[in-house]
Amino acid sequence: MNQDLVHNQIMWNRLIAIVEEQALTLIRTSFSTSVREAGDLSAGVFDAQGRLVAQAVTGTPGHVNTMAASVGFFLDEIGVDQMVDGDVYITNDPWKGTGHLHDITVTTPVFQGEVLVGLFASTSHVVDVGGRGYGPDATELYEEGLRIPIMRWARKGELNEELVNIVRHNVRESDQVVGDIHGLAASNETGRRRLLEMMDEFNLNSIAPLASFIFERTHDAVFAALADVPKGTYKNSMDVDGYDQPVHLAVTLTVSDDGMHADFTGTSGTSRFGINVPIIYAQAYFTYGMIVALAPELPNNYASLAPFTVSAPEGAILNAKEPDPVAVRHVMGHFVTDLCLGALAQALPDRIPAEGAGALWNFQASARAADPVNDPRPPVELLMFNSGGTGARPTLDGLTATAFPSGVMTMSAEATEQVGPIIVWRKEIREGSAGDGRQRGGLGQTIEISATEGYQFVFSAMFDRIENAARGRHGGGDGAPGKVYLDDGTSFRSKGKQLIPPERRLILELPGGGGFGPPSERDPEAAANDRKQGYIA
């Protein structure tokens, strides 16, 4: 075997170990349960040109694939000639980061002597950025919270105390938010030190040759996978709930010798509420869907992302422009994957799963004293990620209560109850929620929540698939739509800020995934078990 090939493979494996340790540092130092428990983060190493070389496995496509583009913005705005050892940079700009203000991206340059040899970047969701709080009610970006332009969190190792002070005075949970930013910087510092140790060990003065090796092989692998897709144009559309009116999503997928392009012409226009999606986020979930369908073992880096491009008319809900509100851009953005997979299914009918629940059902609430006049206790911000069922696969049933395409883990009831005045009374598989088929859809879950005694919740709903269920494929049945209501039967709106009275419990019934293939073709033993267990309505 070629010695250089072995040498480069060893160094590639070392890079993967480095970014995994970077991500683990972030998880261990994070204050927020969304990072510690759910893995709502990304971590990666970039070459001196700002191209993603390697990423940690832990993370979400919305963070990883947008972060892959964001480091270029840091290089452009800071300028390589202005970067020095000990610098740390930060932003939460939706159009230069991950699509909304609640995600913080931190970037750290790596110098060997006076030479910039690479950068580390990491991203995580923070519990609060001020403004109206995490929810879809704002009608422009300025209401959604503190916006941090690309700037220094630290210069030459000295913390930017003025910026820290601004953050502290503009968020509700200052210790958590500032602590999480320090965790992001610490994770990058771990990566920086490990990369320099690796370069010393292998006697490297640049990672450029290693990056070229990785990019060349990734490029060959991704185009080998694309060769299986017949060239042509494929269309798909999907209707989802939206905020005050339904949203129509449309895509035209073009497969050519150069890669794949998704055009979202025909999609509904922007909403006056915060469900709009910067196109960088739509591209992240389009690219992710194509890679997992065609080459799920492919490493995620600059070369694997480059062949997948997107476009959308200005004014489309998947191409939000400043100052459109974008706080819960994930709700529409997560549907991009199933939308584009539905188009690809026309070319690869035996490879693409049915539609699933899609968007996360995040529970975001401010726990406040039920008697604020006589009870001085401060409000507590709570965030809990929850998932419905995935669509059935061509040869396997869908996954139950599993986040796809976001990939975050569900927070446990115990971890959630540790961080605030909340009781999770029920968290169980939702009976009858799976779409029937040759392969059954994944099931949703039922969650029952209330505040502890003396508190009430001001709750920001950001749910979908209540009016529009996940569709089955090739004769499979639809999954069950979701429901949101109080324990006394009072119906709740699927989006927007609402009060949960202290004596009431909120019940969430999360949607199930669609089935794949005719139910008549299901294995009789599996069908009997579905009926026995109550999986199918």
With a CB cutoff of 8 Å and minimum separation 6, the contacts of 354 are 391, 392, 398, 435, 437, 441, 470, 471, 472, 473, 476, 513, 514, 515, 516
What does the alpha-carbon distance between residue 62 and residue 338 come to, in Å, rounded to a whole number? 14
Beta bridge partners of 261: 254, 309
What does the alpha-carbon distance between residue 278 and residue 61 come to, in Å, rounded to a whole number? 15
CA end-to-end span of the chain, whole Å?
Answer: 57
Q: pLDDT of the chain along its 537 residues, tens only?
A: 566 889 999 999 999 999 999 999 999 999 988 898 889 999 999 999 999 999 999 889 999 999 999 999 999 999 999 999 999 999 999 999 999 999 999 999 999 999 999 999 999 999 999 999 999 999 999 999 999 999 999 999 999 999 999 999 999 999 999 999 999 999 999 999 999 999 999 999 999 999 999 999 999 999 999 999 999 999 999 999 999 999 999 999 999 999 999 999 999 999 999 999 999 999 999 999 999 999 999 999 999 999 999 999 999 999 999 999 999 999 999 999 999 999 999 999 999 999 999 999 998 999 999 998 888 888 899 999 999 999 999 999 999 999 999 999 888 899 899 989 999 999 999 999 999 999 999 999 999 999 999 999 999 999 999 999 999 999 999 999 999 999 999 999 999 999 999 999 999 999 999 999 999 999 999 999 999 999 998
What does the alpha-carbon distance between residue 530 and residue 234 come to, in Å, rounded to a whole number? 35
Structure tokens at 336: 């991009």
Q: In whole angstroms, how far apart are CA 504 and each of 422, 451, 483, 490, 493?
A: 12, 9, 16, 10, 16
Q: What angle do CA 297, 300, 66 make, to 5 degrees?
A: 140
* Percentage helix, strand, coil for the chain under 3-state DSSP, each rounded to 5: 30, 25, 45
Residue 159 half-sphere exposure toward CB, CA atoms < 13 A: 10
Question: Per-domain residue ranges for the chain?
Answer: 3-206, 229-352, 353-537
SS3 per residue for 282-311: HHHHHHHHHHHHHCCCCCCCHHHHCCEEEE
Rounded to a whole number of angstroms, the CA Rg of the chain reads 23
Q: Specify burial of residue 283 (Cβ count, 10 A radius: 0-12, 13-18, 19+).
A: buried
What residue has token string 């509700």?
172
Which amino acid does the sequence have at 411? M
With a CB cutoff of 8 Å and minimum separation 6, the contacts of 76 are none
- Which string of DSSP letters, residue by residue, matches 21-77? HHHHHHHHH--SHHHHTT--EEEEEE-TTS-EEEE-SSS-HHHHHHHHHHHHHHHHH
Structure tokens at 499: 């009060």
Cβ atoms of 355 and 246 closer than 8 Å: no
